[in-house]
Structure 1
Amino acid sequence: MNEDITFILDSTKESMQAAVKHLEKQFVNIRAGKASPAMLGSVMVDYYGSQTPLSQVANVNTPDGRTISVQPWEKNMLQPIEKAIQIANLGFNPMNNGDLLIINVPPLTEERRLQLAKQAKAEAEDAKIGIRNARKDANNEIKKNDDVSEDLQKVAEQDVQNLTDTYVKKVEELLAIKDKEIMTV
């Protein structure tokens, strides 16, 4: 197969993999009932004037399925971390006991589960759109390439479609797993 076509297929595959990776990251942020340190992954703390991820200024653990504990490496960071968690608007109210912050993760209501499932579906749809855009870009690149025969172009377009089908199927599988996770009480 032509080098240009191979390059186009490789870059398309990378784009589609990136869309799936992004979806996986987004799914980590959608909580599904049990506590996880990843729930606080988006929290940024004012650490001596610069915005720093929570994981770089404190130890975040889950002693059990309903509790997250945050132990700062510097005791004077307790207040800024507590404030940052409240500002992040995650629906958590941390309790400060002087040494660490304890966050009780409330069980999800049926209504909230449905909202989260809807959010997961929207994220999956965004990933599919990214995959389809990669397909469109690849097909345009293939058609632009004049030194490739029509037969080779058709074969390359079919390869791109096969890649698209594979990655869309991956997105569907990830969504099914996440949906089951969210809806399980």
Structure 2
Amino acid sequence: MFATRKILPKIYRHLCSVPLLPPSTLLSSLNCSFSSIISNHQQPQIFNKSPNTNLICTRSYAKGKDKKKENKGKAAKVVINETEISELVKVETLKTQLQKAVAHMEEDFIKNLSLRSTTGSIESVPISLNGKEHTLQELAQIVRKNPKTIVVNFATFPQAIPAALKALSKSGMNLNPQQDGTTLFIPIPKVTKEHREQLAKNAKQLFVKCKDSVRDVQNKYVKQVKRQDKVSEDLARNVEQQIVALADQFIAEAESMLNKKQTELLGDK
């Protein structure tokens, strides 16, 4: 309404100034003049809002599903309380069995993952004979003939030679023993890139074996807890979680040893 009152006087003044013209010409002139007046008229602006202007600060909150996605994979840290564990299982026996699995892996690393075959590493190679397991040094005399050859004499237990040949070949030390009667001649292999990589793979296999042993111990004790029906559910659940967390610690220790050994095997020039 306000705009109309301002525009009409302008139209009237314009009509008065227009000379007498034919109707068609007059109508065309009026249309052009009206359009010009409308386009030139500036309406008052109370507020000029830019498309990029933000008047209200908002804060977005994650929805329930989004929160679950953010927290997924972030397991709560379990605090190990040995006093609480001991209420349901023998915690010292549990720790001893877990440590035994890691110690066994460490022994295997020493025996089977040497870059250079030494007399000491060959002496401890396990040999199966008549259903029993023996070390090579228990069945034969082992001497280093020269820097490149180790001699193994089976004069006392010649029947152990086939098993010894098999065990030495599969020892992971890249050995290729040669038999001459009751004696084995073992050339000390040159350290190659392929040999290093194979030893690193063997280390990973020994770690996996250790990890499985730790989990076996863990599962055995978790089952012991589950069989106890005269304890509160909260206590049983807490102890189960702590047993798993304790096993995880030993696995982490074993994995650290694996990483160190693989670095030694692959990085040693």
What TM-score do the two structures reach when normalised by structure 1? Answer: 0.70
Determine whether 1:172 maps to 2:246.
no
CA contact under 8 A between 1:120 and 1:178: conserved in structure 2? yes
Unaligned runs of 5+ in 1: none
- Give the structure 2 partner of residue 21 of structure 1: 103
CA contact under 8 A between 1:34 and 1:66: conserved in structure 2? no
SS of the equivalent of 1:60 reads strand
What does residue range 32-181 of structure 1 map to in structure 2 within 5 Å?
A: 32-36=114-118, 37-40=120-123, 41-43=125-127, 53-60=135-142, 67-70=149-152, 76-77=155-156, 85-90=164-169, 91-94=175-178, 103-181=186-264
CA contact under 8 A between 2:178 and 2:186: conserved in structure 1? yes
* Deviations 1:94-147 (CA, angstroms, capped at 9, x unpaired): 587xxx865331123212322221121122012112212322222222122122
Cα pair distance change 1:89/1:59, threshold 3 Å: closer
Cα pair distance change 1:140/1:45, threshold 3 Å: closer
Alpha-carbon RMSD? 3.6
CA contact under 8 A between 1:35 and 1:62: conserved in structure 2? no
CA contact under 8 A between 2:105 and 2:207: conserved in structure 1? yes
Query: 1-side partners of 2:245 and 2:144: how far apart?
Result: 41
Cα pair distance change 1:66/1:181, threshold 3 Å: farther
Query: 1-side partners of 2:211 and 2:150: how far apart?
Result: 33
SS of the equivalent of 2:126 reads coil
SS of the equivalent of 2:186 reads strand
Structure with greater Cα Rg? 2
The structure with the greater share of residues assigned to strand is 1
Question: How big is the shift at 1:45?
Answer: 7.5
SS of the equivalent of 1:160 reads helix
What TM-score do the two structures reach when normalised by structure 2? Answer: 0.52
What is the count of residue pairs matched by the alignment? Answer: 177
Aligned AA for 2:260? I
CA contact under 8 A between 1:68 and 1:102: conserved in structure 2? yes
Cα pair distance change 1:78/1:109, threshold 3 Å: farther
Query: 1-side partners of 2:211 and 2:156: how far apart?
Result: 41
